[in-house]
């Protein structure tokens, strides 16, 4: 007899009625390998047999409807374009409806049984003037009506091949039912500690699995969903936090034990402004971290313009005062150059050697830099990903800073860790892309987070306006007024991914049109786009920075970090083509000085519901975190930068945009457990320790090194 834990781990062929052929199909089509995998392939919806709508009531309104009736006719029809479609007539007591399939194989003809009663599910559309349902989900009433599931019948994701192999909904339900009936509660060991179940009022694992497939009522369905979601997130959190503790035990850094001359001189004599309260708090947090031998791994989040650079610089001075070197890596040359320039000028005449390295610095110049880095005479090096190349060797790298960290791959960032032989540098990663808390908990759950949530004083909120093409003349007039006041203006064109040529054409046309209203030589315009040589780009940027040019026409290359406080207007052309976070980043290029700034979103008249929503969100709020939350709701986490690269987002049930309360609870509990029992050694945590080990065996690539 297989021992208890093993039943769940047995291959699917263990299940009665599944032989090698079906087993193979299940593995291939569903990626289900074990009995346990089967139990964890949850229904994506349920047929609630207590509520059906009737045909005469349903509308073409985009809502999903469930109907019960008879399929009275089914035929293949040749359409106008000589393409075949299948069409059926479906009737209930109130009326009839066409069912339409455009692409369908013989399987449809094989499977559908005219004359039988069906439950159908889908959206209503009007097709050839008649209420229709295109590609409905269909289920024989007699199949749905088994006593397997009296109220809710589970519906599983399916494929043609599965149906062809006889693994349709009915069969799937039977398999699951059978597994659940066979397994005793000993076969489904609890994965959460008992005290936790009691405290949070969660159902057992066995109940959860039973009820998620065959709930008898709404309460059971919710209890199961709740428990599974909690467990999913709890284990992500506890693993992240546990991993962090283990990493802290493994990596040793050099503590910055003294605050020395450089820091003090700079702080007292060179700094041109008073730090904001938020900046002071963050410096204290960093200071506390770097004074230890455990490696700092801190994320600094702060909206654009919140003043992260000075925090970075002060941290670097701490390192230098302790005989250590620093590096600061930025994702683009423009940004790296800007950091370099601004840090050089901020440091003024202080005796600190700052160097700059990118891929385009070659030959003798490069050799000299590498030499000076290796012998320790360079204190700070600023650059692009060129910094992580193997040839870049430090004498003693004490602090590595990564700006706009989400632009780098995980491996790229991690390679900075190994720049020294016997110790790891402290790490500070910075981002101006606010991340919704729920997402941050997952993506950065193993980092310590500092937030600058206060802008330097005197900043006015940027006014954001949405304008259509018809308002162009007013926009031009407004531009004239701002320029007359001595301000500068950005105009940004979208990147059209399919065609770089089109991009340039767009930008070029925009530029030429602009020349009509802002003629040379009275007005000067900079043009910057991604296909220019770095040198030319910098030259153009420089002309804008030193106020030679009034207007900067650009593609999104200026999105990241560019700082020209005198620029007060950001005009975004075809704003409907940009994502929310990108719009927000672009807007952040203005509002950096003391003047009132404006962001004008130009758009087409035709807007999708989503782009309308994005633009409305921009007009409504300046708060990066609000924007990030809205973005998460609109797009889901899948598209948000940085989420694809880890297995972290593979939740079966949990939804980041909706399950905040569950996530907060799970995170807090995980934090408390790790605080009290960092290595999970206590008896009450044995279940957790074992489950972490099981999960680790199951997915080996689940690794974190932010
Ligand atoms: P970001 O967080 O976007 O990187 P920066 O570090 O570029 O922001 O800062 C934006 C601007 O605000 C810079 O011109 C910087 O000199 C200025 N700044 C930063 N901190 C303060 C402060 N405490 N008081 C006044 N100005 C500040
Ligand atoms: Mg910045």
Q: Are residues 504 and 375 in the same domain?
A: no
Query: Which residue has its alpha carbon closest to ligand 1 atom 26?
Result: 456
Give the total residue count for the chain. Answer: 706
Q: Are residues 470 and 612 in the same domain?
A: yes
Atom of ligand 1 nearest to the CA of 309: 6
> What pLDDT sits at residue 639?
56
Residue 4: per-residue pLDDT: 44
Q: Whose CA is nearest to atom 21 of ligand 1?
A: 456
Tell me the best of 456, 586, 593 to mutate to test the pocket of ligand 1, counting ligand atoms within 8 Å of each CB and taking the most.
456
| Residue whose CA is at the smallest distance from ligand 1 atom 12 | 307
344-354 pLDDT, tens digit each:
999 989 999 99
Binned at pLDDT 50, 70 and 90, residue 499 comes out as low
Residue 593 inside a domain? The answer is yes
Q: Which residue has the tokens 């390998």?
A: 33
Q: State the distance from the centre of ligand 2 to the C-alpha of 240, rounded, in angstroms.
A: 28
Residue among 276, 303, 309 whose CB has most ligand 1 atoms within 8 A, to mutate = 309
608 within a domain of the structure (yes/no): yes
* pLDDT average, residue stretch 149-157: 80
For ligand 1, atom 19, the nearest C-alpha belongs to: 307
Q: Does 520 lie in the same domain as 373?
A: no
Q: Which ligand is nearest to the CA of 403?
A: 2
Average pLDDT (259-263) is 93
Domain contains 634: no
H/E stretch holding 112 reads none
Compare 584 and 146 and report the one with higher pLDDT: 584
Ligand 1 center to residue 309 CA distance, Å?
A: 7
Closest ligand 1 atom to 311 CA: 6
**Confidence at residue 452, expressed as pLDDT on a 0 to 100 scale:** 92
Q: 311 CA to middle of ligand 2, Å?
A: 10
Nearest C-alpha to atom 23 of ligand 1 is from which residue?
Answer: 275
Question: What separation in Å is there between the alpha carbon of 297 and the centre of ligand 2?
Answer: 19
Shared domain check, 155 and 138:
no
212 token code pair:
């998620």
Q: How confident is the model at residue 5 (pLDDT cuts 50, 70, 90)?
A: very low
**pLDDT for the residue 157:** 86
377 lies in the same domain as 521 = no
User: Given the CA of residue 342, which atom of ligand 1 is nearest to it?
Assistant: 16
Say if residue 37 is in the same domain as residue 61.
Answer: no
* For residues 93-109, average pLDDT: 83
Residue 298 covered by a domain: no
Place of tokens 């059926």: 88
Domain of 126, CATH number, reads 2.40.50.140
Name which residue sits closest to atom 5 of ligand 1, judged by CA: 307
Q: Do 359 and 332 form a contact (C-beta atoms < 8 A)?
A: no
pLDDT of 142 reads 83
Q: 81 lies in a domain?
A: yes
Distance 122 CA to ligand 1 centre (A): 53
Question: Average per-residue pLDDT in the chain?
Answer: 88
Q: Is the model's pLDDT at 222 over the cut of 50? A: yes
**DSSP string for 211-261:** HHHS-SSHHHHHHHHHHHHHHHHHHHHHHHHHHHHHHHHH-B--------H
Q: What is the pLDDT of residue 3?
A: 47
**How far, in Å, CA of 178 to CA of 169, rounded?**
14
Ligand 1 interacting residues, C-beta cut-off 6 A: 273, 275-276, 279, 302, 304-310, 432, 456, 563, 565, 592
Minimum-distance ligand to the CA of 308?
1
Looking at the fold, whether 134 and 175 belong to one and the same domain comes out as no
* Residue 473 CB-density burial (10 A; 0-12 exposed, 13-18 middle, 19+ buried): exposed
Q: Indicate which residue's Cα is closest to atom 27 of ligand 1.
A: 456
| 346 and 426 together in one domain | yes
Which range has the worst mean pLDDT, 31-40, 111-120, 162-171, 300-309? 162-171
Q: Is the pLDDT of residue 678 over 70?
A: yes
Owning domain of residue 541: 463-621
Mutate to test the pocket of ligand 1, among 267, 271, 280, 307 (most ligand atoms within 8 A of CB): 307
CA–centroid distance, 593 to ligand 1, in Å, is 10
Q: What is the pLDDT of residues 559-610, one digit of tens each?
A: 555 678 899 999 999 999 898 988 998 998 898 888 899 999 999 898 988 8
Q: Which tokens is 297 given?
A: 């791994």
Neighbours of ion ligand 2 (CB under 5 A): 561
Query: What single DSSP character describes residue 55?
Result: T
Residue nearest to ligand 1 atom 18, measured at CA = 307
Q: Is residue 692 part of a domain?
A: yes
pLDDT band of 700, cuts 50, 70, 90: low
Say which range, 102-106, 112-116, 369-373, has the weakest mean pLDDT: 102-106
Rounded Cα distance between 216 and 210, Å, is 10
Q: Which H or E element spans position 425?
A: none
Kindly state whether residue 99 falls inside one of the protein's structural domains.
yes
Atom 16 (ligand 1): residue with closest C-alpha? 307
Q: Which ligand sits closest to the CA of 302?
A: 1
8 Å CB contact between 223 and 201: no
- pLDDT band at residue 644, thresholds of 50, 70 and 90? very low
Task: State pLDDT tens for residues 505-533.
Answer: 778 888 999 999 999 899 999 998 877 88
Backbone angles phi, psi at 423, to 5 degrees: -150, 165
Q: For residues 27 and 308, what is the distance between their CA atoms, to the nearest angstrom?
A: 49
Q: Is residue 642 part of a domain?
A: no
What CA–CA distance (Å, rounded) separates 643 from 406?
A: 10
C-alpha of residue 431 to centroid of ligand 2, in Å: 8
User: Cα(586) to centroid of ligand 2, in Å?
Assistant: 13
Q: What is the pLDDT of residues 361-411, one digit of tens each?
A: 999 999 999 999 999 999 999 999 999 999 999 999 999 999 977 667 667
Instruction: Identify the pLDDT of residue 1.
Output: 39
Tally of domains within the chain:
5
195-233 burial, b for 16+ CB within 10 Å, e for fewer?
ebbeebebbbbbbbbbbbbbbeeeebbebbbbbbbbbbb
Q: How remote is the CA of residue 330 from the centroid of ligand 2, in Å?
A: 9
* pLDDT given at position 137: 83
Tell me, rounded to whole angstroms, the distance of Cα 279 from its chain centroid.
26
Out of 431, 449, 479, pick the residue that ends a domain.
431
Give me the percent of the chain exceeding a pLDDT of 90. 53
Q: Which atom of ligand 1 is nearest to the CA of 310?
A: 6
Ligand 1 atom closest to Cα of 592?
A: 11
Note the pLDDT of residue 508: 85
Ligand 1 atom 25, closest CA: 456
- Residue 501: CB partners within 8 Å, gap ≥ 6? none
C-alpha–C-alpha distance, residues 640 and 434, integer Å: 11
| CATH assignment at residue 606 | 3.40.50.300
Average pLDDT in the 680-686 region?
95
- Ligand 1 atom nearest residue 279's Cα: 23
> What pTM value is reported for the model?
0.75
Q: Is the CB of residue 423 less than 8 Å from the CB of residue 617?
A: no
CA of 400 to the centre of ligand 1 (A): 20
* Residue 306 CA, ligand 2 centroid: distance in Å: 8
304 Cα–ligand 2 center, Å: 7
Could you identify the atom of ligand 1 that is nearest to the CA of residue 304?
Answer: 3
Tell me if the bond preceding 521 is cis, omega within 30° of 0: yes
Cα 311 to averaged position of ligand 1 atoms, centre (Å)? 9
Lowest mean pLDDT among 446-455, 493-502, 637-646: 637-646
Q: Is the per-residue pLDDT at 441 higher than 50?
A: yes
Which one of the ligands is nearest to 272 CA?
1
Measured distance CA(2)–CA(454) in Å, rounded:
61
Q: Are residues 152 and 8 in the same domain?
A: yes
**Band of the pLDDT at 443, cuts 50, 70, 90?**
confident
Ligand 1, atom 15, lies closest to the CA of 307
Residues 470, 420, single domain; the answer is: no
Least confident of 110-114, 353-357, 675-679: 110-114
Whole-angstrom Cα distance, residue 489 to residue 586?
A: 12
Query: Which amino acid residue places its CA nearest to atom 22 of ligand 1?
Result: 456
Give yes or no: residues 75 and 135 share one domain: yes
Is the model's pLDDT at 503 over the cut of 80?
no
The secondary structure of 614-657 as a DSSP string is HHHHHHH---HHHHHHHHHHHH-GGGSTTSTTSGGG--SS--TT
Instruction: Reduce the DSSP state of residue 190 to 3 states and report it.
Output: coil
| Atom of ligand 1 lying closest to residue 458 CA | 25
The alpha-helical segments, DSSP class H, found in 62-168 are 106-111, 141-144, 160-164
Identify the domain boundary among 431, 449, 475.
431
Residue-wise pLDDT tens digits, 10-48: 999 988 889 999 999 999 999 999 999 999 999 998 888
Whether residues 592 and 672 share a domain: the answer is: no
- The residue with tokens 């620093």 is 326
Minimum-distance ligand 1 atom for the alpha carbon of 346: 16
């Amino acid at each position: 007899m297989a021992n208890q834990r093993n039943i769940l781990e047995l291959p699917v062929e263990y299940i009665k009625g599944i032989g090698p052929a079906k087993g193979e199909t299940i593995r291939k089509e569903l990626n289900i390998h074990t009995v346990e995998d089967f139990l964890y392939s949850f229904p994506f919806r349920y047929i609630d047999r207590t509520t059906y709508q009737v045909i005469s009531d349903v509308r073409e309104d985009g809502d999903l409807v469930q109907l019960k009736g008879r399929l009275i006719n089914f035929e293949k029809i040749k359409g106008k374009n000589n393409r075949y479609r299948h069409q059926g007539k479906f009737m209930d007591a109130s009326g009839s409806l066409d069912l339409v399939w455009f692409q369908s194989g013989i399987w449809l003809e094989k499977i559908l049984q005219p004359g039988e009663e069906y439950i159908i599910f889908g959206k209503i559309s009007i097709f050839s003037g008649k209420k229709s349902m295109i590609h409905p989900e269909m289920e024989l009433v007699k199949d749905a009506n088994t006593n397997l599931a009296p109220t809710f019948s589970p519906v599983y994701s399916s494929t043609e091949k599965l149906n062809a192999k006889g693994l349709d909904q009915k069969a799937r339900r039977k398999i699951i039912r059978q597994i659940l009936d066979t397994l005793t509660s000993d076969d489904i060991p609890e994965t959460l500690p008992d005290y936790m179940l009691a405290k949070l009022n969660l159902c057992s694992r066995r109940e959860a699995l039973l009820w998620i497939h065959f709930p008898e009522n709404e309460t059971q369905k919710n209890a199961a969903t709740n428990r599974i979601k909690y467990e999913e997130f709890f284990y992500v959190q506890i693993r992240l936090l546990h991993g962090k503790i283990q990493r802290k035990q493994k990596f040793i850094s050099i503590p910055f034990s003294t605050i020395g001359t450089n820091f003090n001189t700079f702080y007292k004599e060179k700094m041109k402004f008073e730090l904001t309260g938020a900046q002071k708090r963050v410096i204290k947090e960093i200071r506390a971290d770097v004074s230890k031998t455990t490696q700092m791994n801190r994320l600094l989040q702060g909206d654009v313009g919140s003043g992260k650079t000075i925090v970075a610089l002060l941290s670097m001075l701490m390192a230098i005062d302790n005989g250590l070197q620093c590096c600061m890596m930025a994702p683009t040359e423009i940004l790296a150059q800007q950091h370099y320039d601004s840090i050089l000028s901020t440091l003024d005449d202080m005796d600190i050697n700052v160097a700059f390295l990118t891929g385009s610095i070659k030959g003798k110049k490069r050799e000299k830099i590498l030499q000076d880095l290796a012998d320790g005479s360079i204190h700070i090096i600023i650059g692009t990903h060129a910094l992580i190349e193997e040839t870049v060797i430090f004498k003693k790298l004490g602090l590595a800073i990564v700006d706009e960290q989400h632009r780098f791959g995980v491996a790229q960032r991690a390679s900075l860790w190994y720049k020294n032989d016997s110790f790891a540098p402290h790490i500070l990663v910075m981002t101006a892309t606010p991340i919704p808390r729920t997402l941050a908990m997952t993506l950065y759950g193993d980092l310590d987070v500092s937030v600058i949530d206060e802008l330097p004083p005197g900043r006015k909120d940027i006014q954001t306006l949405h304008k259509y093409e018809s308002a162009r003349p007013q926009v031009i007039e407004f531009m004239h007024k701002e320029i007359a006041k001595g301000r500068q203006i950005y105009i940004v064109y979208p990147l059209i991914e399919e065609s770089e040529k089109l991009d340039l054409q767009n930008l070029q046309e925009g530029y030429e049109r602009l020349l009509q209203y802002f003629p040379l030589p009275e007005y000067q315009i900079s043009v910057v786009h991604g296909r220019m040589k770095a040198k030319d780009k910098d030259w153009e940027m420089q002309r804008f920075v030193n106020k030679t040019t009034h207007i900067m026409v650009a593609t999104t290359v200026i999105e990241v970090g560019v700082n020209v406080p005198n620029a007060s207007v950001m005009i975004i052309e075809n704003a409907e083509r940009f994502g929310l976070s990108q719009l927000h980043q672009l807007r952040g290029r203005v509002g950096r000085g003391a003047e009132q700034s404006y962001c004008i979103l130009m758009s087409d008249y035709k807007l999708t519901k989503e782009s309308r929503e994005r633009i409305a969100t921009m007009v409504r709020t300046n708060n990066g975190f609000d924007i990030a939350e809205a973005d998460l709701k609109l797009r889901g986490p899948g598209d948000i930068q940085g989420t694809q690269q880890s297995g972290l987002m593979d939740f079966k049930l949990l939804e980041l945009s909706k399950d905040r309360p569950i996530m907060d609870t799970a995170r807090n509990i995980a934090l408390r457990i790790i605080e009290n029992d960092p290595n999970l050694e206590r008896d009450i945590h044995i279940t957790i320790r074992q489950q972490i080990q099981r999960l680790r065996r199951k997915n080996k690539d689940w690794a974190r090194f932010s």
